Structure 1
Amino acid sequence: MTIPTTQYAKSGTHRIAYQVIGKGSIDIVLVPGFVSNVDLQWEHSGFRRLLENIAGFARLVVFDKRGTGLSDRVPGNALPTLEARMDDVRAVMDAAGMKSAVLIGVSEGGPMSMLFAATYPHRTRALVLYGTYSRFHPDVLDRSGLAGYIDAMENGWGTGASLRYFAPSLSDDERMVEWWARYERHSASPTAAVSLVRMNAEINVSDLLPSIRVPTLILHRRDDTRVSVSSGRRLAESIDGARYAELEGRDHLFFTGNVDAITNEIQEFVTGNRPAPSDATVLVTVVAAAIVDPVAQAIKWGDAEWERKRAELRQRAMNVISANRGVAFFSSNEEIYGWFDGPVRAVQCAAALLQDAAAHGVPLACGVHIGEAEKRHDKVSGVTVQLARQLALASTTSQVLVTGVVRDLTVGSGLSYMDSRTVLELDNRQIPVFTAGTAGPVANGSHGLRVKFASLSAREKEVLTLISLGLTNAMIADRLHLSEHTVKRHVANILLKLDLSNRAAAAAVISTLGA
């Protein structure tokens, strides 16, 4: 998606920077948290994914509050009241031609969104609240901790040091810290940032919650490091008819971790439908990551420290998987899974997971397999997942094992593969397994797949082409004037010759080879 043009709406004497994304029939306004910058946010892969996900089903407006980002600065850093911020939202909606909209209030943007919904119900189609609160004390900080937090902000603003308060799983990621430092500097001055904290510390909109009469969805991460999960639960109890969804994760930032889980909840709430059927068979590449000898690690680190390291590993893994356009899910504290729509991104993600884990002293091993799986909401299940898991458990520390079909479908990607050994069985066949590297050409990969493809008969190539177009056996039989039994025999021969486990993997061969 091309980065949209930044425009300006006039709110009184101030200009408010905003962007319009998407062309859906539903209008949504994203009310930012502490600080924002509508241009720089596109540089972060998780932020971009979140915006594109929402813009896929709605017309989305993002903006910078007055005094922050690309909007007009406030003279003397006299930051605006919640009422003035409501005026800014109305100005942006008017400029974008929105009579009413769904408001998504993120963190500090939540209280203003609640006030807006209660004051202007005719302009609020629905309300979504993420990681937010009705009162700053004690949901964000108790009063005794405020002075220390302000001191840290004054002395560290613009360095990225504050990232630990918002996304602790990424606080050791040098690239993220560097980007966050620039994001801070381009979103507010140090004086404005401290003024924002002081003003936010006075927020308490608890008394108006019963006045909110619009459909409301509340999203909160269970282990949110910035805003207590009890705040989200209290909002759900206080707003009549509110729907509450508690998500996995520790990071407070809504564009880190599994952003798909957030946008899927929003899409279902706003449209009544999730991005895909809740139960469907899809072709996916699955990465399974398993901690090597977790018992030994628990003994080494001690129970409390090991629990902390595991929690941080899970959060960082969600960020890595999301950054590689995958969807994370979990089955235990020692196993992490992600599914992808392409094998190259999956293998690259597996390598990134290993590098991250090694940097934090956690031994991890990965397995990657592609095949059909049952998709339900954000999770996939079935033989494909189990094979990836078996590979991970068979791997050694810092090793990625992939099945032969993954190797063949990543030709020309720059990935390299080493020793071949057979460790798995499927449908009474042994599955060739390879160790993946991260650089250099794929040794004999393209040649191997093309040799296999060349071994197909002309009729088998014709059938394979029709499989790649999504035709069923019955449809292929009708198209080629063959019996369905004959088509089944051709499909079986194709899978055998290409050394593939299912027709979905076979369908990918055509696009891979450009045949």
Structure 2
Amino acid sequence: MPETRYVRAGDAEIAYQTIGSGPVDLVWAYGMLTHLEVKWEEPSLAAMLRELSRFSRLILFDRRGCGLSDRGDRHLSPTLEERVEDVVAVLDAVGSQQASFFGVSEGCGLAALFASMHPERTHRLVLYGGISRLLRDAEHPWGVMDAAAYDAAFAPVFRQWGTVEGAAAMVGLVAPSAAGDRDYLAWFARQQRLSLSRDAVVRFMATVVDYDLDAVFPTVRVPTLVLHRSGDTVVPLSSPRRLASRIPGARLVELPGTDHLPYVGDSASVVEAVRAFLGAAIARAPASSRLVTLLATDARTPAAVALVRRHVRRMDGAEVTSPSGEELVWFDSATRALRCAMGALRAAHAQGIELRAVVHAGECEVGRGSVDGAPVVVPTALLRQAPAGRVLATATVRDIVPGSDITLTDPWRVRLPGTGGVLTVTTAAAGETLSAGGVGGGGHGGGAERVFRKDGEYWTLAFEGRTVRLRDSKGMADLMTLLAEPGRERHVLDLVAGTPGTSAVHAALHRSAPQPVIDAQARGRYRQRLAEVDEALGGSDVDTVVSARLLEEKDWLLRELTAAYGLGDRARAVPDEVERARKAVYRRVADALRRVERAHPGLGRHLRCSVHTGVYCSYDPERDLAWTTGRQDPPTD
């Protein structure tokens, strides 16, 4: 993230950032939400900002009243002219004499007004998702929506602002393809909270709905590109078409997609349209030879491409092109490449999209936007043999991911068409499977089937249509024992012994007698040292530092003796066998629950509410649930 700086504009301090060193200065005029530093936390937005900075010096700022710029009542309803002067102050601070503007949504009006007021400082305009006016009425028939539609759309947003529910309400409007992404919704809610308070957003929007730039657009005298996604769920095509018709010489380009936010969905086409319009060349970095992991998918439709790109950005991959024109993604990490592939295929399955993926690692020449070398042909060649809904990985990848929770199974030999080479190929499985018949699921991922079964060194867990695989641990065996018979109480000694039945309990209860915490010999040494410390503290030549150390040691000795001996100088015993078993089982189960919750949050929440530990442990779900555990208990005594 670039450094945040401040500049004075009238009675407000405006926060701004710059990134990149291209020949063109490009100002991003945001829509409603602005918080400079939070924006860099969302991978898809950060990736788009970096792509724009490859051919420009990108200038970002928080408008007054929002984010890191000055906030407070007097800044909540700035006029557009005040906001233009804020931009002038930022451009002066960064030493920009002339800049192009990328106006987004409500920010299009700011960009157009700046160009009208300061044409000498405006190079070009790109207006994305732009509107003349938000509210439609008899006087402004070109508005986007009427008052009733506005209230219906935004009332839930304002009412739940800053919560996941408030984020979901707004994302459903402006970025429907991300509506099911829990990580994105959590970030969006954080962006809401840190950009504007609940009260501030209502007051700010009361000003925004009154903006009407219809009379301003004809005064723009700089080259202008109007970009719009044809299926935008907030702004209908009639709005950008009117906007383009009002700006002299403006060119309208319609892109496929439904998302109003430019960085959600196919953002690469937006970036390329901006770059081409500005006439900027992308700086090419020299190629370097390195070990990389390559991912290839058969995503071809706009929906599939957008889905894959979103996962690529979240896993910090980079889209590249091979010398033969094949589109690939490269990663520094094989683990991230596999997680990206599996996540994309899971999302594709949920949306009814058929998708395949291949992951391969090798030494390649990697430049900015390109990759070359013998390994480049492998992923696309294998892709033709990959079954739908599967992630295939070569043995090279398998050999560098041990230690992760990813397993690569079912190896087989494949002859690559057109190369004459033979490779070992495996199937990836980790965290979740892709469908009931998908990767590593063994047919247990779909429907209402519940599985908690050990398969070799891994556990297969299926719950609510989702399957995960985890490495073995003692706590997993404890959970399986409990799930095998819902409602039955198991004594902790049964769980520790691994042999359910009352005989194990009775045998353990008659083991050796409790032992003291500190034996007699150690007790004598502790008391002798305590006497020596007291004697040393009574000396007249003890300096301050030594005295502090002696007092610290005395406190420690007293705590140890107090813990070991009770009233009447009776020795306290360490916990008996049952108490030791209770603590051991609690630690094991707690660790297993944490691991399950990370891999399968739904199952983790269910188990935390249903599994009870103590001297007697049990699994007591709210409703009758049957689990496939694969275990058969031996006869009890």
State the partner residue of 1:185: 193
State the partner residue of 1:58: 56
| Kept in 2: contact 1:287–1:346 (CA 8 A) | no
| Kept in 1: contact 2:229–2:256 (CA 8 A) | yes
State the partner residue of 1:339: 329
| Kept in 2: contact 1:261–1:378 (CA 8 A) | no
| Kept in 2: contact 1:416–1:438 (CA 8 A) | yes
**Is 1:355–2:346 an aligned residue pair?**
yes
In the TM superposition, what is the alpha-carbon distance from 1:146 to its structure 2 partner?
A: 1.4
Provide the secondary structure at the position in 2 that maps to 1:104.
strand
In the TM superposition, what is the alpha-carbon distance from 1:125 to its structure 2 partner?
A: 1.5
Q: What is the TM-score with the length of structure 2 in the denominator?
A: 0.56
| Kept in 2: contact 1:287–1:388 (CA 8 A) | no
Q: Which has the higher contact order (CA 8 A, sep 6+)?
A: 1
Q: Deviations for 1:418-468, whole angstroms, at most 9, x for unmatched residues? A: 1222455323444432212348xxxxxxxxxxxxxxxxxxxxxxxxxxxxx
In structure 1, C-alpha distance between the alignment counterparts of 2:198 and 2:242, rounded to whole Å: 32
| Kept in 1: contact 2:55–2:280 (CA 8 A) | no
Pairwise mapping of residues 470-509 of structure 1 onto structure 2 (< 5 A)? none
State the partner residue of 1:479: none
**Is 1:207–2:215 an aligned residue pair?**
yes
Provide the secondary structure at the position in 2 that maps to 1:111.
helix
State the partner residue of 2:416: 425
State the partner residue of 2:158: 154
State the partner residue of 1:143: 147
In structure 1, C-alpha distance between the alignment counterparts of 2:151 and 2:33, rounded to whole Å: 20
In structure 2, C-alpha distance between the alignment counterparts of 1:431 and 1:72, rounded to whole Å: 60
In the TM superposition, what is the alpha-carbon distance from 1:78 to its structure 2 partner?
A: 4.8
Instruction: Indicate the larger mover: 356-365 or 205-214.
Output: 356-365
**Is 1:23–2:15 an aligned residue pair?**
no
**Is 1:218–2:226 an aligned residue pair?**
yes
State the partner residue of 2:206: 198
Provide the secondary structure at the position in 2 that maps to 1:66.
coil
Structure 2 CA distance for partners of 1:290 and 1:206, relative to 1, 3 Å: closer
| Kept in 2: contact 1:46–1:256 (CA 8 A) | yes
> Which letter does structure 2 place at the counterpart of 1:432?
T
In structure 1, C-alpha distance between the alignment counterparts of 2:404 and 2:284, rounded to whole Å: 29
In the TM superposition, what is the alpha-carbon distance from 1:201 to its structure 2 partner?
A: 2.2
In structure 2, C-alpha distance between the alignment counterparts of 1:385 and 1:248, rounded to whole Å: 28
Structure 2 CA distance for partners of 1:364 and 1:185, relative to 1, 3 Å: same
In structure 2, C-alpha distance between the alignment counterparts of 1:221 and 1:384, rounded to whole Å: 35
> Which letter does structure 2 place at the counterpart of 1:51?
L
In structure 1, C-alpha distance between the alignment counterparts of 2:279 and 2:403, rounded to whole Å: 40
> Which letter does structure 1 place at the counterpart of 2:226?
I
In structure 2, C-alpha distance between the alignment counterparts of 1:220 and 1:177, rounded to whole Å: 24
Q: Deviations for 1:140-160, whole angstroms, at most 9, x for unmatched residues? A: 423330122342232121112
> Which letter does structure 1 place at the counterpart of 2:384?
Q
Among residues 428, 431, 437, which one is paired with 1:436 in the alignment? 428
The unaligned stretches of length 5 or more in structure 1 are 278-282, 292-309, 330-336, 440-515
Provide the secondary structure at the position in 2 that maps to 1:71.
coil
In structure 1, C-alpha distance between the alignment counterparts of 2:218 and 2:4, rounded to whole Å: 36
> Which letter does structure 2 place at the counterpart of 1:340?
W
Q: Deviations for 1:8-55, whole angstroms, at most 9, x for unmatched residues? A: 221111111111223334222211111110111111111221222222
The unaligned stretches of length 5 or more in structure 2 are 137-141, 286-291, 321-326, 432-637
Provide the secondary structure at the position in 2 that maps to 1:202.
coil
State the partner residue of 1:34: 32
Q: Deviations for 1:116-139, whole angstroms, at most 9, x for unmatched residues? A: 112210011111212222232456
Structure 2 CA distance for partners of 1:290 and 1:117, relative to 1, 3 Å: closer
In structure 1, C-alpha distance between the alignment counterparts of 2:397 and 2:251, rounded to whole Å: 41
> Which letter does structure 1 place at the counterpart of 2:189?
A
> Which letter does structure 1 place at the counterpart of 2:297?
A
Structure 2 CA distance for partners of 1:264 and 1:154, relative to 1, 3 Å: same
Pairwise mapping of residues 182-331 of structure 1 onto structure 2 (< 5 A)? 182-274=190-282, 285-289=294-298, 315-326=306-317
| Kept in 2: contact 1:150–1:194 (CA 8 A) | no
| Kept in 1: contact 2:132–2:213 (CA 8 A) | yes
**Is 1:395–2:387 an aligned residue pair?**
yes
In the TM superposition, what is the alpha-carbon distance from 1:89 to its structure 2 partner?
A: 0.9
In the TM superposition, what is the alpha-carbon distance from 1:5 to its structure 2 partner?
A: 2.4
In structure 2, C-alpha distance between the alignment counterparts of 1:379 and 1:249, rounded to whole Å: 28
Structure 2 CA distance for partners of 1:246 and 1:338, relative to 1, 3 Å: farther
Provide the secondary structure at the position in 1 that maps to 2:180.
coil
| Kept in 1: contact 2:395–2:426 (CA 8 A) | yes
Identity over the aligned pairs, expressed in percent? 34
**Is 1:175–2:207 an aligned residue pair?**
no
In structure 2, C-alpha distance between the alignment counterparts of 1:407 and 1:244, rounded to whole Å: 49
| Root mean square deviation of aligned Cα | 3.8
Provide the secondary structure at the position in 1 that maps to 2:21.
coil
**Is 1:111–2:109 an aligned residue pair?**
yes
| Kept in 2: contact 1:69–1:186 (CA 8 A) | yes
In structure 2, C-alpha distance between the alignment counterparts of 1:396 and 1:150, rounded to whole Å: 40
In structure 1, C-alpha distance between the alignment counterparts of 2:115 and 2:350, rounded to whole Å: 45
Among residues 158, 173, 179, which one is paired with 1:165 in the alignment? 173
| Kept in 1: contact 2:76–2:204 (CA 8 A) | no
> Which letter does structure 2 place at the counterpart of 1:232?
P
Provide the secondary structure at the position in 2 that maps to 1:223.
coil
In the TM superposition, what is the alpha-carbon distance from 1:363 to its structure 2 partner?
A: 6.5
Structure 2 CA distance for partners of 1:415 and 1:8, relative to 1, 3 Å: same
| Kept in 2: contact 1:289–1:367 (CA 8 A) | no
| Kept in 1: contact 2:411–2:425 (CA 8 A) | yes
| Kept in 1: contact 2:358–2:379 (CA 8 A) | no
| Kept in 1: contact 2:20–2:58 (CA 8 A) | yes
In the TM superposition, what is the alpha-carbon distance from 1:62 to its structure 2 partner?
A: 0.8
Q: What is the TM-score with the length of structure 1 in the denominator?
A: 0.68
In structure 1, C-alpha distance between the alignment counterparts of 2:404 and 2:225, rounded to whole Å: 42
Provide the secondary structure at the position in 2 that maps to 1:207.
coil
In structure 1, C-alpha distance between the alignment counterparts of 2:258 and 2:403, rounded to whole Å: 37
State the partner residue of 2:5: 7
In structure 1, C-alpha distance between the alignment counterparts of 2:428 and 2:256, rounded to whole Å: 30
In structure 2, C-alpha distance between the alignment counterparts of 1:16 and 1:76, rounded to whole Å: 14
| Kept in 2: contact 1:258–1:322 (CA 8 A) | no
